[in-house]
Amino acid sequence: DMSDETLDDLIRDLSKKDTRYHILMGSVKSKAEYEEKLNQNSKEITQKENDISEIKKAIESSSYNEENYRNMIFLIDRLNEKFNGFTKEIAVNDNNLSIYETTVETIEKTIEANRKNKEEFIAVKEYYGLLEDLRTLYSKDGIQKDLRSQSRPLIQKYTREFFEKFNFNYSDLILDDEYNISIYGPEGEANIEMVSGGEKIAIALALRLGITQAMSKGNIETILLDEPTIHLDTIRKQHLITVLRSMSVIPQMLIVTHDDELENAADTLIRVEKEDGISTVKINS
């Protein structure tokens, strides 16, 4: 994975290398000029060599002249100096060309690597955007809100029916968009915080049963309660036991608990005990 800051650094570094690349490419293009110059110098050297040969022939065919000889020696030395200078210049240019070619190759590899990194970054960024769109779509204010809006009338209906079956003093329960609870009784609308502890437990249980019945399309044959008294004090436990005893509307109820007080609400007790590392099951009806 690559951060935006790292990618920006790579892009800036690549821009500098790209500038250097164009400078080097300009130097590489000068190779043709150097080669042209070399060819010209080679022609000049060849011409001078021919001239020297002609001069030597002339010297041999003519009477010796000391002054002419010295002039010829001087001219030959100058030509040799030029020749040596051209040779060194060609060697330097060949070396520079090799360096430029290596640098260009390195830059091209860096450009290709950064191009792939950029493509990967764009792909990851697009995928991240897709995930964000999905997160927004399935967020609390997206599909969840639509599902809550569609489920709310059914939950209210089934919870109201459980109010009637449990003989509650409250006749209706209303859920707002955020599923805040308002209940209606003989004295009109009441907030859930205003009812007694036992009524809260009964209302909470009726609401959960209403949600369950809405999810099961109105047909509840069995429910499972897992440690329903774990956060309740003694008084609220007794209220819950009373409510559970009166729940004849549910054909079958399974309660998993470590609380011995709930035994009084059961028709059949299945006890799992562990002795010497071995679990045993006992059933009491």
Q: What are phi and psi of 257, to 5 degrees?
A: -155, 155
Say how many domains are in the chain: 2
Within a domain: residue 153? yes
- pLDDT reported for residue 63: 65
Report the share of the chain in percent with pLDDT over 70. Answer: 89
Question: Quick one: 82 and 189 in the same domain?
Answer: no
Query: By residue range, what is the domain housing residue 252?
Result: 143-284
The CATH number of the domain where 234 resides is what?
3.40.50.300
Pairing of strands 172-175, 181-185: antiparallel
* pTM exceeds 0.95, yes or no: no
Question: Quick one: 113 and 155 in the same domain?
Answer: no
Question: Quick one: 262 and 155 in the same domain?
Answer: yes
More reliable by pLDDT, 121 or 200? 121
Average pLDDT over residues 164-186: 77
Tens-place pLDDT, residues 10-28: 778 788 877 877 777 776 6
Question: Quick one: 82 and 167 in the same domain?
Answer: no
Within a domain: residue 33? yes
Mean per-residue pLDDT of the chain: 80
Within a domain: residue 155? yes
Average pLDDT over residues 184-198: 76
Question: Quick one: 153 and 255 in the same domain?
Answer: yes
Cα–Cα distance measured from residue 245 to residue 211, given in angstroms and rounded to the nearest whole number: 21
